[in-house]
Homo-oligomer: A and B are copies of this chain.
Amino acid sequence: MRIVVQDAPFDLGVESEAFAAGRHDMGAIVTFTGVVRDTADDLDVMEIEHYPGMTEKALTAIAEEAMQRWNLGDVLVIHRYGRLVPGDRIMMVATASPHRRDAFEAADFLMDYLKSRAPFWKKEHGKGGTDWVAAKDEDEDALSRW
């Protein structure tokens, strides 16, 4: 299990390859990568604030819960904070399991919890001004799936 919280960019290719490397007992590897999206071409900067100390604890707790609930060989969570621009990767999770269903469900679970239970807050700076991203009801509702 590896939990990383950093302002520096991470390399999706290198991380994916390293996560998958040398596992002969895990048949299924799932990764999810979140990218700063600029649909309306009006986002300049996505600023991500977090709660140092609690962030690492919350991510570790979520990853440990996933390891308990599914048959997983390994879990990776990387989440950035600071100032990002459209196209930047915000975060990634990866799961390794003997079976594809476990790998998929665990990654899905990690994302749902990370969205609403890890102390990150997004602020958008764009042509329309500056605003904190509001939490979505659907993200909170998604937790009831688990």
Interface residues of A (CB under 8 A from B): 11-14, 16-17, 20, 22-39, 86-87, 89, 98, 100, 103-104, 107-108, 111
Contacts and interface: CB of A to CB of B under 8 A. Distances in A.
Contacts of A28: 32-35
A103 B22 CA distance: 27
A109 B70 CA distance: 20
A34 B27 contact: yes
Residue from A16, A23, A39 with most neighbouring chain B CB atoms (10 Å): A16
Contacts of A35: 20, 23-24, 26-29
Contacts of A22: 87
Nearest to A31: B31
Contacts of A26: 35, 37
Given A25-B38, A26-B35, 7 more contacts: A25-B39, A27-B37, A29-B35, A30-B31, A32-B104, A100-B111, A104-B104
A37 B104 contact: no
14 contacts: A12-B13, A16-B33, A22-B87, A24-B37, A25-B38, A25-B39, A26-B37, A27-B35, A28-B32, A30-B30, A31-B31, A31-B33, A32-B100, A100-B111
Contacts of A86: 24
Contacts of A108: 104
